[in-house]
């Protein structure tokens, strides 16, 4: 599938910035509806994740209730539609973030703290979810990577800055098992 972008001089709906010094045009979404539509298009057309809206609703509900296990199951359902040769190391985290944002869930990647950076922070009114992603090239490495991630969350105090907000904080490690091609909680 080829994409072509044409910008007409009188086209006022698209936000963009032209940097003449470097010859770069930075495009932005004109509004939230367009951003969500484009993300859904990526999921439907590029990753062939059909019925995404249903999946997004389920993802929202499971995360908002703090059910990380159900969230992982939904994520594994989504990645089961991806061709086997599209599985690089950081791909799992990127797709997870895209699924969250496509569902309209407030989420941030690489959140810097005073001792390091959390891979992913998901924010709801009454709940904050801090996730650390680890990659295991073999299933036999999953438990080791999970323990490493839990220690990392604890030692680097990724959730510390949220202590005074009065929200429940859930932390978890998601291990991408490259051999099985799925996420393990």
Token digits for 160? 């510390």
Domain span including residue 128? 31-184
pLDDT in tens, 11-35: 444 455 555 565 666 666 777 777 7
* pLDDT tens, position by position, 53-111: 567 778 878 888 889 888 888 877 776 655 455 556 567 777 787 778 777 788 888 88
CB 107 within 8 A of CB 129: no
Q: How far is CA 103 from CA 32, 38, 40, in A?
A: 12, 12, 9
Type and span of the H or E element at 69: helix 68-79
Does the residue 157 lie in any domain? yes
- Banded model confidence at residue 169, pLDDT cuts 50, 70, 90: very high
Whether 2 is covered by a domain: the verdict is no
Residues above pLDDT 90, as percent of the chain: 19
- b/e for 142-158, b at 16 or more Cβ within 10 A? beebbeebeebbeebeb
- According to DSSP, the β-strands at 127-136 and 168-177 are parallel
Structurally, the chain folds into a number of domains equal to 1
Q: Which residue has the tokens 């499971």?
A: 62
Count each helix (H run) and each strand (E run) in the chain, helices first: 5, 7
- 166 part of a folded domain: yes
- The answer to whether position 99 is within a domain reads yes
Q: Is 13 within the bounds of a domain?
A: no
Is residue 107, in this structure, part of any structural domain at all? yes
Residue for token pair 């992982």: 72
In a domain, 44, yes or no: yes
**pTM assigned to the model:** 0.58
Is residue 124 predicted with pLDDT exceeding 70? yes
Look at the alpha carbons of 86, 92, 97, 100 in this order and tell me if their dihedral is positive or negative: positive
In a domain, 161, yes or no: yes
13-25: burial string, b at 16+ Cβ within 10 Å, e else:
eeeeeeeeeeeee
């Amino acid at each position: 599938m080829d994409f072509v972008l044409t910008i007409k001089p009188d086209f006022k709906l698209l936000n963009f910035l032209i940097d003449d010094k470097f010859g770069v045009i930075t495009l932005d979404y004109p509004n939230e509806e367009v951003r969500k539509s484009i993300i859904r298009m990526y999921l439907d057309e590029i990753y062939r994740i059909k019925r995404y809206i249903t999946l997004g609703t389920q993802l929202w509900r499971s995360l908002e209730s703090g059910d990380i296990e159900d969230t992982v199951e939904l994520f594994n359902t989504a990645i089961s539609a991806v061709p086997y040769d599209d599985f690089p190391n950081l791909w799992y985290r990127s797709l997870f973030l895209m699924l969250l944002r496509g569902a309209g869930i407030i989420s941030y990647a690489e959140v810097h703290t005073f001792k390091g950076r959390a891979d992913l922070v998901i924010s709801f009114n009454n709940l904050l979810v801090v996730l650390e992603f680890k990659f295991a090239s073999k299933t036999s490495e999953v438990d080791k990577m999970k323990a490493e991630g839990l220690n990392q969350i604890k030692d680097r105090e990724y959730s510390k800055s949220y202590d005074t907000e009065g929200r429940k904080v859930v932390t978890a490690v998601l291990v991408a098992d490259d051999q099985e091609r799925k996420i393990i909680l």
